[in-house]
Amino acid sequence: MVGIILATHGEFAEGILQSGTMIFGEQENVKAITLMPSEGPDDIRAKMEAAIASFDSQDEVLFLVDLWGGTPFNQANGLYEDHKDKWAIVAGLNLPMLIEAFASRFSMNSAQEIAKAILTPGQEGVRIKPEELQPQPQEAVDSEQPSGELAPGTVVGDGKIKFVLARIDSRLLHGQVATAWTKSTNPTRIIVVSDAVSKDDLRKKLIEQAAPPGVKANVIPVDKMIEISKDPRFGNTKALLLFENPQDVLRAVEGGVEIEQVNVGSMAHSVGKVVVSKVLAMGQEDVEAFDKLKEKGIKFDVRKVPNDSSANMEDIIKKAKAELKAQ
């Protein structure tokens, strides 16, 4: 796996590594290197050398630095000179760039290949509000569907929408979904399936704006999701589905949405629910919905981010039932 060095002035490197870990999970072969006010070039170079020596392999190393021409860059550049054929340096470190680097390590074994892949996400992560201040790129062509509205019954591709992930998350579209899960599943569209949110214009707008670059986001009620799942015009769509609770998943499955596995990510606590893990709280209706989904052959993947190990859903349900009974 490509080793990554985050090198910055001050504690920025440690902070952004913590942020990246919160979103994408713990990472191997990643080190944060800080240049403090009392330190000089030799100090940060020694830290870099020690970090590289700690990696499983020193063949492929990627430096992500804060400022081109700054001391962290200059010292990384000195080490890079002896490894130009494999190592790489990218300046202008930001969180979208770091998340893309973490995701790219799943499929790329070259530091230089990852360096090339993270440049555009890093640039696209710099955006402005209000939007009219943002320079407009040249008009892009939407390749997901042919231009113009398609007549009902038109078959696109094989006529079946592809579900790359179905996730239960009471927070719906947030950092872990917009970065980690999107990078690992590569959807063309994020669909929030919720009757309540579909009626809330403000929440709908915020969700649509939170979609990562290159991915569209929509908010629709459960019945509309059932309808879309049977519409052959969505045959080229790769969808990441987000549900607030297992009851909505059950309604969708009973309506014919062909979900085979549900990622259980986060369920917020509220009155009447019991806490069964750091991120999961369940009430009686939740437990009953999960039991019915299991009866229908649905599998469960319990984890917040792709790098986490999946927890045992049966143990979680048993704990929920026991604690609910004891209330």
Closest to 256 (Cα-Cα) out of 297, 214, 226, 221: 226
Q: What are phi and psi of 27, to 5 degrees?
A: -125, 140
Is 269 marked active-site?
no
Is 9 marked active-site?
yes
Q: Which of 9, 238, 269, 292 is catalytic?
A: 9
Q: Which of 162, 174, 216, 319 is catalytic?
A: 174
- Helix, strand, coil % over all residues of the chain, rounded to 5: 40, 20, 40
Q: Name the strands in the sheet holding 30-35, side by side, starting at the edge strand that comes first in the sequence.
A: 30-35, 3-9, 61-65, 88-91
Q: In angstroms, what CA-CA distances link 173 with 70, 176, 240?
A: 36, 8, 10
Q: In angstroms, what CA-CA distances link 321 with 66, 167, 244, 286, 311?
A: 50, 22, 20, 10, 17
Which helix (H) or strand (E) segment holds residue 225: the answer is: helix 222-229
Q: In angstroms, what CA-CA distances link 186 with 179, 180, 239, 283, 301?
A: 10, 10, 9, 32, 18
Q: Name the strands in the sheet holding 162-169, side by side, starting at the edge strand that comes first in the sequence.
A: 216-220, 189-193, 238-243, 162-169, 261-266, 299-302
Q: How many CB atoms lie within 10 A of CB 233?
A: 20
The residues annotated with a catalytic role in the active site are 9, 174
